[in-house]
Amino acid sequence: MSIQAVNYKMTIDGKEVESKSGERFDRVSPGHNEVVGTYPAGSVEDIDLAVAAARKAFDKGAWPRWSGAARAKALRTVAACIDRDVEKLARIEALESGKPIAQARGEVIATAEIWYYAATLAQHAYGDSHNALGEEYLGVIVREPIGVVGMITPWNFPLLIISQKLPFAIAVGCTAVVKPSQLTPGTTLMLGQYVKEAGIPDGVVNIVSGKGAVGGRISEHPDVDMVTFTGSTEVGKKVMQAAAGTLKKVGLELGGKNPQIIMADADMEAAADAVVFGVYFNQGECCNSGSRILVQRSAAKKFMDIVVEKAKRVPVGDPLDEKVLVGAIASPEQQATIERYVAEGKASGANLVLGGSQINTEIGRYFEPTIFTGVTKDMSIAKEEIFGPVLSVLEFEDVDDAIDIANSTIYGLSSGIWTKNIDDAIKFAKNVRSGTVWVNCWMDGFPEMSFGGFGESGIGRELGRHAIEEFTELKTITIRTGERKNWLS
């Protein structure tokens, strides 16, 4: 098929610009082997210009001094722009990332809802007053925007993930410098147009496309007050190290090896459907992937028969096909990672019961839905993030055993339990170490519900009413009335 490549520009200080070097780079669609976009190759020099613009907009500009109502109105306009361009944005994401077009469409719609929700929070930034400090004192604690926020986002959910950060930061009056992944920058660069259309002042949102060194400059830049990053735990640690030089605040949403617990009394059909969805959604290229399931031993065979049968029917193929549920693998490097973990699973003694190979096609890069049983918690496929369509199945005796296994990784992003026993559900929810716990559902998300991880899955929380607090500092103001007694008298 013939695909027309889109020519994008960056946004710095309210203007659509090329990189200072004039260099550009292309993105070849993982599903079609054609160039689908060409982008400015931003450099450290471009980041410095973007930071200077954001710094000026925060220190001297109007945006932090607008009322919450005025900022809310602007955010709602951005949301409306996203709503208006759902089909355009979904196609960009499907072509750049390889995800199915129907999934991409749903994500764009959800993204608009996040912007609408963040707009409501612009009018709800608040602090505390203390009027019990004695007759002569009034204490006020206010929340103020932290300043310039650097935002570095990954390739798997480009528009959705930047929208878990950007609208909340600017809702409270911050300014931003955004660096999207070099694999999928298109929809993030489109935000620059929407911000302009919404009347948000120049310099408030700056978007620079480019490669890894560009993100590194954001993390270390002395005029950036906070950096928020979504991606691998390994890179997250490097972001934190770079930020330590200026002691800037850091927000990290990192990896996961998320367990679903299947108790013997669970609704087997519903749980099996959720397992298949949870591991193969977005080709498994998802920090929230349910790639590790724990099945109660007495029900394991029955349950896995259902899962395998469902997995065999998952349609894999062209991301632009409305019926496809699993699209293309984003990059050759990610394909190689998946293949390495499959080889490690086989070598460690796990049972490969489905898939395990690249799908041979003339066009595109695809991998079979894969299932390993007989997995033990010490195996790499049980404790490390694969980021591909590979399911690892472990067995357990009772809910206490399940909790121990669930907590046996460095990660703590998400978890879930399927059971009709409320006591088991509550016990698991209270004792598992994860930022999100689902009970009889999986990956059901809402803008109102906070998201983030324990352990090496990250620091801080996105979404929910506390999200704007991540982008604020507390200031204490102590007010004295009447005459102050002279210290020297």
Spatial separation of the C-alpha atoms in residues 406 and 459, rounded to whole Å: 20
Give the Å distances, CA to CA, from 2 to 29, 32, 33.
12, 9, 10
DSSP H helical ranges for 397-486: 399-406, 422-431
Q: Residues near 405 by Cβ (< 8 Å), separated by ≥ 6?
A: 259, 294, 377, 394, 396
HSE-up (13 A, CA, CB side) for residue 119: 19
Which of 107, 253, 368, 470 is catalytic? The answer is 253
* Residues whose CB is less than 8 angstroms from the CB of residue 454 and which lie 6 or more positions away in sequence, other chains included: 412, 413, 433, 434, 435
Interacting residues of 243 by C-beta distance below 8 A, sequence separation 6+: 219, 220, 227, 250
The letter for the amino acid at 202 is D
Neighbours of 449 (CB within 10 A): 12
Cα(159)–Cα(353) distance, integer angstroms:
35
Give phi and psi for 319, each to the nearest 5.
-60, -25
422-431 helix and 399-406 helix, angle to the nearest 10 degrees: 30
Tokens of 36: 């689908």
| Token reading at 399 | 């809910």
Catalytic-labelled residue, pool 81, 286, 287, 395? 287
Distance CA 293, CA 440 (A): 14
Tokens for 476? 């204490």
Rg for the chain (alpha carbons), in Å?
24
Query: What are the b/e assignments for 318-331, b being 16+ CB within 10 Å?
Result: bbbeeebbbbbbbb
Structure tokens at 162: 């930047």
Token output for 442: 């999986």
**Sign of the four-CA dihedral 89, 95, 97, 99:** positive
- Judge whether 256 and 236 are in contact, CB under 8 Å: no
Sheet holding 148-152, edge to edge: 15-17, 10-12, 205-207, 175-179, 148-152, 226-230, 249-253, 458-459
Known active-site residue 253: yes
Q: Which of 108, 40, 39 is nearest to 78 (CA)?
A: 108
CB 229 within 8 A of CB 252: yes
Q: Which positions are annotated as active-site residues?
A: 253, 287
